[in-house]
Structure 1
Amino acid sequence: MDHLFSPEGFDDTGAGPLYVQLHRRIAEAIASGRLKPGDSLPAEREMAAMTGLSRVTVRKGVEALVASGQLVQRRGSGTFVAPKVEKLEQALSLLTSFTEDMRRRGLNSESRWLSRALHNPSPEEVMALGLAADERVARLERVRSSDGLPLAIERASLPQAILPEPERVTTSLYAELQARGLRPVRAVQRISAVNVTPRDAELLGVTAGVAGLRIERISYLPSGKVVEFTRSLYRGDAYDFAVELKLAPEGERKTE
């Protein structure tokens, strides 16, 4: 590690800003395996002394690696190489639950429940679920993991009439709805990029501010009634979302 942070090579003005050179040097060490998941980096002050760079320069280089998910910082402990996460590809054309999706991949799914209870609805829930003023909602909030690795935070809201006993959901929400004859058959999803908040970062085991994917899903019964309003936050370093596109029928095509 002493060689990694030696001052030689940082004086090449054609290689870009100094913090970028430090960023590149550490990233290459991670990619090559010289720095392994869980390895700790020297403190900022020590890196500055070893490289001959200013602490501001060191901080900028490290912060860029934290933002990209290659390093994680733990308050009171230091800076570490992030665990290696294998990316999962999620097809957007399939209406499946997290449990079903993991089973299809041959992986185990786990839930750490944060809450399961009935509540008075928020204005957002009233609008999304089409509730009357006196209706209540079942809220389910949990961290979804596979083989011990947190992958997503799922926050689902359903009308009380659909799920009167939310505590009955132990694994798959869709399995419980299927048993009640109320499984959704279609959904509309919206995906947006977000920076993970400190609270959610702690739940997912990532650094606050890193990139995440927010998916908002509204699901419908065959009758057209809304059955589910779910807001999920996925780790940006763990998921790729894919959708198949097809050429429109010839009669529907427009040409410029």
Structure 2
Amino acid sequence: MPDVAEQIFSTVKASARNGAPLYLQLKKSIEDAVQRGVIGPGDALPSERDIAVKADVSRVTVRKAVQDLVKGGILVQRHGSGTFVAPRVERVEQSLSRLTSFTEDMARRGMAVTSTWLDRGVYPPSPDEIMVLGLSAKELVARISRLRIANDTPLAIERASLSATVLPDPTAIGSSLYAVLERTGNRPVRAVQRISAANLGDADAKLLDVPPGSASLNIERISYLATGKVIEFTRSIYRGDAYDFVAELRLAGSE
């Protein structure tokens, strides 16, 4: 890719005269090239040595720029193969004002949904589960954990807990937990969600097919029946590069 390489790397030294660190200039040059479509998803970058020569910088500078872009999800590194532009992930918007299941959300968008089960079972409750679900220490809790996938892209890891009296057989769940709860009259009607930003650890990053340290949105949701009873305690991890949460706000007193 000689012409392309010239477009990406030839201005790095000149731009650095403005005082910005070389690795940041190189990082920006590669990011700009991806955004302009000069290099696209799946395209390979030149070797570290070739980039250093063409940009007239050290290999340490190249390595630092590339590592930052890998952490940011712009590039991916494959052992023994090289460095590539990461596949483009279609972003998904989810409303914070509507209580729906992942399956329902994706179906409305016409996306094909699959799940990989990570855990389905009945266990003694943890202290958090006892407190949130209002259980006694002698009661059991049903836990379901799964990797949620839409259009072949892993988007989220969901870990839900419910009283075992509500869900005595977690293996009975097909594609939707809420469909099972609806059949037994236990579908939640409202929920409180807390959203926080985090960086993915190795295990969760591997499940979501992103580099360790990538950005994620962690959501803790407590769901309620119409009676006010807590029915579900869910902790989910969403890919930061694939999800946007949207809330509609109204001026107080405008209704």
Fold shared per TM-score above 0.5: yes
Aligned to 1:9: 11
Deviation at 1:4, TM superposition (A): 4.6
For 1:14-33, what per-residue CA distance to the aligned partner results, in whole angstroms no more than 9, with x for missing partners? 26221111111111221122
Note the aligned Cα RMSD (angstroms): 1.8
Q: Would the aligned equivalents of 1:4 and 1:26 in 2 still touch at CA under 8 Å?
A: no
Q: Does 1:246 align with 2:219?
A: no
Q: Does 1:234 align with 2:238?
A: yes
Q: Does 1:35 align with 2:46?
A: no
Q: 1:74 to 1:141 in 2, by over 3 A?
A: farther
Q: Would the aligned equivalents of 1:137 and 1:157 in 2 still touch at CA under 8 Å?
A: yes
SS of structure 2 residue aligned to 1:141? strand
Which of 149, 152, 165 is equivalent to 1:148? Answer: 152
Aligned to 1:24: 28
Q: Would the aligned equivalents of 2:10 and 2:54 in 1 still touch at CA under 8 Å?
A: no
Aligned to 1:191: 195
Deviation at 1:56, TM superposition (A): 2.1
Aligned to 1:253: none
Q: Could you tell me the percent identity over the aligned residues? A: 56
User: In the TM superposition, what are the counterparts of 1:213-228 in structure 2 within 5 Å?
Assistant: 213-228=217-232
Which of 39, 42, 48 is equivalent to 2:52? Answer: 48
- The aligned amino acid for 1:53 is V
Between the aligned partners of 1:43 and 1:201, the Cα distance in structure 2 is: 25
TM-score by length of 2: 0.92
Aligned residues: 251
Q: 1:64 to 1:122 in 2, by over 3 A?
A: same
Q: 1:85 to 1:5 in 2, by over 3 A?
A: same
Deviation at 1:64, TM superposition (A): 2.2
Between the aligned partners of 1:79 and 1:232, the Cα distance in structure 2 is: 30
Between the aligned partners of 1:74 and 1:122, the Cα distance in structure 2 is: 39
Between the aligned partners of 2:10 and 2:44, the Cα distance in structure 1 is: 22
SS of structure 2 residue aligned to 1:11? helix
Q: Would the aligned equivalents of 2:13 and 2:56 in 1 still touch at CA under 8 Å?
A: no
SS of structure 2 residue aligned to 1:237? coil
- The aligned amino acid for 1:23 is K
SS of structure 2 residue aligned to 1:16? coil
SS of structure 2 residue aligned to 1:248? coil
For 1:170-228, what per-residue CA distance to the aligned partner results, in whole angstroms no more than 9, with x for missing partners? 10000010011100011000000010111111111111101110011000111211111
Between the aligned partners of 2:21 and 2:13, the Cα distance in structure 1 is: 10
